[in-house]
């Protein structure tokens, strides 16, 4: 039976189940329309818009010290631009920064490492080299990975990346 694709409503429900109330975001074409825009109007979320992605990792770290769970939303290019913050703030600082990262331009059904696009191909190897766990969320069945991944990040005080492989609808 064919997968029905990514439901934005189900992703939002999974994030709420994971007790995410603060969303830190820089718009990403993969997720802006059906995730970020609804979140901006959802009273269950406080959305903090940032000018650059590394800021967002640090805001999440501050929120963690203040006792809150949060999610950083960005495009994979922003993740690549935030490598030093990922190193210093999230990994060495042992902050449970949870990132939802859109893989703009990813070919449907093609694993990121086999993408024709260089930028997409290197995302998972870079995360592996940094020992940052990551999960591909591309089909409806993958949404079930979100809450356990976030819970594990907070239990272990370590970052996690959720790679969004298709535009949620």
Partner 1 sequence: MMKRDDFLTVLARHRKDEVVVAVYSAAQELIQIAPHPLNYTFTGAMGQGSSHALGLALGRPDKRVIVLDGDGSLLMNLGSLVTIAHAAPGNLLHCLCRNGSYETNGAVPIPNRDKLSFTALAAAAGYRQVHAVSALDEWDRRLPEFIRAQGPVFVDIEMERGASYPEDFERLYDPACRDAFRQALKDST
Phi, psi of 26 (to 5 degrees): -125, 130
Q: How far apart are CA 139 and CA 6, in angstroms?
A: 5
Identify which range of 4-12, 60-68, 119-127, 140-148 contacts partner 1 by CB under 8 A: 60-68
Q: Is 15 in the site for partner 1 (CB under 8 A)?
A: no
Q: What gap in Å lies between CA 132 and CA 154, rounded to an integer?
A: 14
Length of the chain: 169
Q: Does 37 bind partner 1 (CB under 8 A)?
A: no
Which pair of tokens denotes residue 122? Answer: 């290197």
Among residues 58, 75, 115, 167, which is the contact residue for partner 1, using CB under 8 A?
58
From 6-14, 46-54, 119-127, 128-136, span contacting partner 1 (CB under 8 A)? 46-54
Stretch that binds partner 1, among 4-12, 36-44, 65-73, 106-114 (CB under 8 A): 65-73
* Minimum gap (Å) between residue 62 Cβ and partner 1: 2
Strands (E), the chain: 22-25, 46-49, 70-75, 98-102, 134-137, 160-164
| Burial profile 121-143: b = 16 or more Cβ within 10 angstroms, e = fewer | ebbbebbeeeebebebbbbbebb
Question: β-strand 134-137 against 46-49: which pairing, if any?
Answer: unpaired
Stretch that binds partner 1, among 8-16, 34-42, 81-89, 139-147 (CB under 8 A): 81-89
Residues in 120-159 at the binding interface with partner 1, rule: CB under 8 A? 157
What's the closest the beta carbon of residue 113 comes to partner 1, in angstroms?
A: 27
Q: Is 29 in the site for partner 1 (CB under 8 A)?
A: no
Contacts to partner 1 by CB under 8 A: 22, 46, 48-52, 54-68, 70, 84-85, 87-90, 92-95, 157
């Amino acid at each position: 039976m064919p997968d029905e694709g990514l439901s934005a409503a189900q992703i939002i429900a999974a994030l709420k189940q994971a007790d995410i109330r603060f969303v830190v975001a820089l718009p990403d074409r993969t997720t802006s329309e059906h995730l970020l825009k609804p979140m901006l109007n959802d009273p269950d979320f406080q959305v903090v818009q940032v000018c650059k992605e590394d800021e967002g990792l640090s805001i999440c770290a501050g929120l963690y010290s203040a006792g809150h769970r949060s999610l950083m939303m960005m495009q994979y290019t922003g993740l690549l631009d935030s490598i030093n913050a990922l190193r210093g703030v999230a990994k060495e600082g042992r902050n449970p920064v949870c990132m939802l990262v859109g893989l703009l331009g990813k070919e449907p059904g093609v694993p990121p490492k086999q993408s024709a696009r260089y930028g997409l191909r290197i995302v998972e190897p870079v995360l592996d080299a940094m020992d940052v766990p990551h999960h591909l969320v591309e089909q409806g069945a993958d949404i079930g990975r979100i809450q356990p991944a976030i819970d594990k990040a907070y239990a272990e005080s370590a970052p996690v990346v959720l790679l969004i492989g298709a535009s949620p609808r």
